[in-house]
Amino acid sequence: MRTPWLRICIVPNERPLPLPFPRTRRERASCRRKDTGVRTLLILAALAGVAALSGAWFVYSGLYNLSATQQHTAPVYWLLNVAMRQAVKHHAQDIRVPPLRDPALIDSGRRLYGAHCASCHGAPGIAPDAFALGLMPVPANLALTAREWKNPAELFWVAKYGIKMSGMPAWEFRLAEVELWAVVAFVRTLPALSPQEYRAAIAGDHDRHPVRADAPGPAAGADAPRGRIALQQYACVSCHVIPGVVGAASPVGPSLARIGSRKYLAGILPNTRETMVEWLRAPQRVAPGTAMPDLGVSVRDAQDIAAYLETLR
């Protein structure tokens, strides 16, 4: 059976060619005359197939070293860095930056930074904690980041949403918008902050630890799509199979399939929006001895999660 390019590249004497690479002038001329591009497409498809197969082989071979002591190869590192920088720029472009020079805001940001950021990123004259030194990539020195990233909205975006597979967590469900901006305001002062000044400033901070504001942002009715994101942010996915949530496939606790139709929660509560919120916020009080931990879920987040779970009917 002749494939399309065989028919296209037949010389006048009907001798089939060692295709797809014609050798003589006549053969080439024959092909040039009649090549409709099909042959080129087929060659490209074959090359793409070979590339995909070698890629699949490489992945399954397990040869790429994912350990946290081994940096990516230089090309992969470059690629990831560019992708990260571009993604941050793109997603932060429409964020409106509030005034960030208010000393009170910077002051509050310094306390939040000391409580939540310094353990990984360090601070002027202060090293990151031991665990953070073993992270790959190692958390950035934010004095440099603050100097090089001109748009404060980019710092805000990274702090709020985090960065996949980098170790940078999202703070969206932990800090209110105003607190996130306070952190950004403080980070922007880092390049000009000496270790002595920083030490002097935090000397009085210890007994003034920031307290997490419950329900950051406006509680404007239960928001099921946001609840679906919250299921990830409260690590629900590491113990439950949850339909509709990618990566929620762990059978540590019961599957949440059809949880919206379930009659009882934890075996004791009739399943309503209110009892679900109660259960999500205080499992240890509702069912003492349960393996489900208290995760500090705010009222708003619990309501959103409950709204999503109700859709699993």
CB of residue 283 vs another protein: minimum separation in angstroms? 10
For the chain, report the end-to-end CA distance as a whole number of angstroms. 54
Q: Rank residues 145 and 290 by Cβ distance to another protein and give the closer one.
A: 290
* 141 vs 250 by CB, closer to another protein: 250
Q: What is the longest distance spanned by two Cα atoms in the chain?
A: 95
Q: Which residues of this protein are in contact with another protein, per CB under 8 A?
A: 239, 241, 251-255, 257-258, 261-264, 267-268, 287, 289-291
Tell the smallest beta-carbon distance from residue 165 to another protein (Å).
25
How many helices, marked H, and strands, marked E, lie in the chain? Answer: 15, 2
Phi/psi at 194 (nearest 5 deg)?
A: -80, 155
- As given in the structure block, the two tokens for residue 245 are 């949530």
Residue 97 or 295 having the CB closest to another protein: 295
d(C-alpha 250, C-alpha 28), whole Å: 60
Between residues 90 and 258, which has the closer beta carbon with respect to another protein? 258
Q: Which amino acid is at 163?
A: I
User: CB of residue 308 vs another protein: minimum separation in angstroms?
Assistant: 17
Whichever of 7 and 258 has its CB closer to another protein, that residue is 258
* In the complex, least distance from residue 171 CB atom to another protein, rounded to whole angstroms: 29
Question: Alpha-carbon distance 293 to 299, whole Å?
Answer: 16
Q: How many C-beta atoms lie closer than 10 Å to residue 282's C-beta?
A: 14
Q: How far is the CB of 287 from another protein (least distance, A)?
A: 6
CA 168/CA 14 separation, integer angstroms: 66
